[in-house]
Amino acid sequence: MILLKVILASLLLIGVTKTKKEYSKEYDLINYLACETNEYALVDERFLSWEDSGFNSYSDLPTKNKNSVGGLGNFDLDSLLDEKDRRRIEHKLKSSSSLTINIDYLTCKDKLNKTKGFVPKKTIYSYSYPILLKGTNQELYGIILEQETFEINNELKIKVFLKRSDSWELVYESLIAFS
């Protein structure tokens, strides 16, 4: 009987660990953006929809940039991906991912904004569910939408990050919309 309890507890622990691993890479990028880069800002609990933001296919993504502002230099996502990667992005753009951030995977729970509307004198960041993939160079890239809202001002950007050993490096960003 004790052996059965030990086995059941072990299986439960393995299941919980596996579930956390499934989200660890995507939430690693979300935690980097939400908890490490914008110290005083809030994070919207709702994910941005790729489709609602106008991205229905890979061809809708701005994947090339020359002489970008901010010192990011030239960037060509197409050169880093093969056809399999592009199809995977297409699938992710069309799939319906979670609509809200899973608070269990967010490391800065106190920054989560659950209000609908703006919060006076506070910047609120909203993110899409990240698309992660390994490029042809075998490095891990994360593609994400970021919306920054301060009262009535609003900016929507697409960003591409490269995973480094202990952090993420911004390698591309493009302003999609602003008001």
Specify if 5 maps to a domain: no
Tell which residue, 41, 13, 37, 175, has the closest CA to residue 119.
41
Specify if 88 maps to a domain: yes
- pLDDT given for residue 20 in this prediction: 45
Going by pLDDT thresholds of 50, 70 and 90, the confidence category of residue 6 is: very low
Average pLDDT of the residues of the chain: 79
Q: Containing domain of residue 86, as a range?
A: 23-178
Per the structure, the count of domains in the chain is 1
Task: Tell me the C-alpha distance between 97 and 45, whole Å.
Answer: 14
- pLDDT given for residue 141 in this prediction: 93
Question: 172 — phi, psi (to 5°)?
Answer: -160, 140
Q: What percent of the chain has pLDDT over 70?
A: 77
Specify if 10 maps to a domain: no
pLDDT digits (tens, 9 = 90+) for 72-94: 567 788 888 889 988 889 888 88
Q: What is the mean pLDDT of residues 93-98?
A: 72
Evaluate whether 124 touches 44 at the Cβ level (below 8 Å): yes
pLDDT digits (tens, 9 = 90+) for 118-160: 667 788 899 999 999 998 889 999 999 999 988 888 899 999 9
Specify if 13 maps to a domain: no
For 45-102, where are the E strands, in sequence order?
A: 64-68, 73-76
